[in-house]
Amino acid sequence: MIDTNAELGLSLIILAGFLAAKLFRTAKIPAVTAYILVGIVIGPSGLEVVPEGILAASGFISDVVLGLIAFGIGKSFSFRTLGANGRIILRISAMEALGAMLLVTAAFTVLLNIPLHVALLFGAIASATAPAATAMVVEETKAKGPMTDTLLGVVALDDAWALMIFAVSMVVAKTIASGGATHLEILAEVGMAVFEIAFSLLLGSVFAWLLHHYSSRVVDPSDLEIFTLGIILLTVGAATSLGLSVLLACLALGVVLVNISSEGRRFFEVIEPLDTPLYLIFFVLAGALLEIGLLKDIGLLGLAYIVFRVAGKLIGAYIGASDPGGMGASMRKYIGLGLIPQAGVALGLALMAREQFPNVGETIFSTIVATTVVFELAGPIATRTALSLAHEIPED
């Protein structure tokens, strides 16, 4: 490993990510993919020039950036403009999550002869979608249109569906593996998932009221930027300390702010200049932490997981968007492509599966880690392709 101090390491991350994004842009490859590739090259799997201190801080950086992303997605949930689209977002998000879960579970059980309780865990994890890469591609391409708005709404809700699906699947898997479980145990597990979701949303809503209430005393835009960032970080920190979902808490923060008054969008505008450099650092570090060597061991299990998860997302999203009320053909055909990325939430669920099922948990965890490399590299390209085919990228 090359001896690099934190300052040099951070400068290398920023400059290498910047240059790679510029280079890849000519080939219409999203900046997210470029950042991840740079991370792989300069991280432990490559040149090993990223200092240990920065890698150790990746968890903190990840929470902050995911909080900012979820906050920004909340802007898309303005009730004044969302209207009937809210029902469509709810339906598509439910169907794409269930589609991936059911297809992976069925394929693993029927085609690969995997025990049902193990297949259920794989299926539950398959329901999760990473909003970070999707949001970054939308921001980079300046995509606008009905599918873009719907896609951002779908990935924002996906975290809630994944948590609930995994909670139920975990109980069912334990029941099958142990030979039985009481109805009270099942209700308790599901209740805990609902509790986490509800209190995450409540936490974000409370901080949104706090930010809105006191922002009237903040006139200078720079002061408002500092105050807004401080509340976002407070939401992230409080959610982490309480064991709640950072994504859902910050999503609620954004949703309440954009709906609480006609001037709600100013909170998003003042924070936007911070997004790009933080996203760059986040995705380069994500690439640096990917264990690229696991790809050679991905095997039939990993390949099947990739194929059937993608198929489940595409089919589920297509069914969810097939509504006589007016979804266009391009929405039905292409929105599923924007749901391919998978990272943080899936890895967290896989870690829980490893802890609860020691005998098979390691196989589940290593498979999810390996397939994450594929999803994080190919997912942003698929998202950009979907937006391009739907003609919602300005230059296209």
DSSP 143-184: --SHHHHHHHHHHHHHHHHHHHHHHHHHHHHHHHHHT---HH
- Give me the domain span that covers residue 167: 6-389
What is the rounded CA–CA span in Å between residue 206 and residue 366?
A: 38
Share of the chain above pLDDT 70, in %: 88
In which band, very low, low, confident or very high, does the pLDDT at 23 lie, cut at 50, 70 and 90? confident
Phi, psi of 115 (to 5 degrees): -55, 145
The residue type at 163: L
Find tokens 């280079």 and name the residue: 23
* Res. 229: pLDDT tops 70: yes
Express each pLDDT in 59-92 by its tens digit: 788 788 878 877 887 777 777 656 657 778 888 8
Query: The CATH number of the domain where 192 resides is what?
Result: 1.20.1530.20
Cβ count within 10 A of residue 225: 18
Lowest average pLDDT, out of 67-71, 187-191, 371-375, goes to: 187-191
Distance of CA 299 to the CA centre of its chain: 25
Residue 81 has a pLDDT of: 59
Cβ-based burial of 320 (10 A; exposed 0-12, middle 13-18, buried ≥19): buried
255 or 31, greater pLDDT: 255
367 or 96, greater pLDDT: 96
Do the domain assignments include residue 60? Answer: yes
What is the rounded CA–CA span in Å between residue 156 and residue 170?
A: 23
Angle between helices 6-25 and 266-289 (to 10 degrees): 100
Express each pLDDT in 107-126 by its tens digit: 999 998 888 888 999 999 99
What residues contact residue 358 under an 8 Å CB cut-off, 6+ apart?
none
What is the rounded CA–CA span in Å between residue 129 and residue 376?
A: 11
In which band, very low, low, confident or very high, does the pLDDT at 98 lie, cut at 50, 70 and 90? very high
Do the domain assignments include residue 251? Answer: yes
Do the domain assignments include residue 394? Answer: no
Cβ count within 10 A of residue 205: 17
In which band, very low, low, confident or very high, does the pLDDT at 372 lie, cut at 50, 70 and 90? confident
Express each pLDDT in 328-368 by its tens digit: 677 788 888 888 888 767 776 776 777 778 777 777 877 88
Residue 152 has a pLDDT of: 85
Region 320-325 average pLDDT: 68
Indicate yes or no: pTM above 0.75: no
Alpha-carbon Rg for the chain, nearest whole angstrom, is 21
Residue 385: name the closest of 28, 108, 2 by CA: 28
Residue 209 has a pLDDT of: 92
Residue 294 has a pLDDT of: 62
* Res. 310: pLDDT tops 80: yes
What is the rounded CA–CA span in Å between residue 224 and residue 237?
A: 20
What is the rounded CA–CA span in Å between residue 71 and residue 247?
A: 8
Do the domain assignments include residue 37? Answer: yes
Share of the chain above pLDDT 90, in %: 14
Q: Alpha carbon of 12 to those of 49, 321, 377: distances in Å? A: 9, 43, 21
Cβ count within 10 A of residue 282: 23
Phi, psi of 237 (to 5 degrees): -65, -45
* Res. 296: pLDDT tops 80: no
Region 207-235 average pLDDT: 87
330 or 255, greater pLDDT: 255
Residue 324 has a pLDDT of: 47
Domain count, the chain: 1
227, 218 contact by CB (below 8 A): yes
What residues contact residue 222 under an 8 Å CB cut-off, 6+ apart?
none
Q: What stretch of H or E contains 82? A: helix 79-82
Region 40-47 average pLDDT: 81
Do the domain assignments include residue 1? Answer: no
Q: What share of the chain is helix, strand, coil (3-state, %, to 5)?
A: 80, 0, 20
Do the domain assignments include residue 374? Answer: yes
Q: Alpha carbon of 342 to those of 185, 195, 368: distances in Å? A: 30, 24, 9
Do the domain assignments include residue 310? Answer: yes
